[in-house]
A and B are shown apart, each in its own frame.
Chain A
Amino acid sequence: DIQMTQSPSTLSAYEGDRVIITCRASQNIGTWLAWYQQKPGKAPNLLIYKASSLESGVPSRFSGSGSGTDFTLTISSLQPDDFATYYCQQYDAYPGTFGPGTKVEI
Chain B
Amino acid sequence: EVQLVESGGGLVRPGGYLRLSCVASGFTFTNSWMSWVRQAPGKKLEWVANIKPDGSDTYYVDSVRGRFTISRDNTKNSLYLRMDSLSAEDTALYYCARHRVEYSFGYPKAPYFDSWGQGTLVTVSS
Contact = CB atoms under 8 A, between A and B. Distances in A.
Interface of A: 30, 32, 34, 36, 42-46, 49-50, 55, 87, 89-101
18 contacts: A32-B102, A34-B112, A34-B113, A36-B45, A43-B95, A44-B45, A44-B95, A46-B113, A49-B112, A91-B110, A93-B109, A94-B59, A94-B110, A95-B47, A96-B110, A96-B112, A98-B44, A98-B45
A44 B110 contact: no
A34 B113 CA distance: 9
Main secondary structure of the interface of A (DSSP, over half): loop
A90 B47 CA distance: 11
A101 B44 contact: yes
Contacts of B111: 91, 96
B114 A91 contact: no
B100 interface: yes
Contact of B44 (A32, A90, A95, A99): A99
A32 B109 contact: yes
A50 B114 CA distance: 13
A37 to B, nearest CB: 12
A56 to B, nearest CB: 9
A46 B100 CA distance: 11
B116 A87 contact: no
Interface in B57-116: 59, 61-62, 95, 100, 102, 104, 109-114, 116
B44 A46 contact: no
B61 A43 contact: no
B61 A89 contact: no
Contact of A95 (B100, B110, B114, B117): B110
B27 to A, nearest CB: 14
Contacts of B61: 95
A55 B117 contact: no
B46 A98 contact: yes
A95 B66 CA distance: 16
A87 B114 contact: no
A89 B97 CA distance: 14
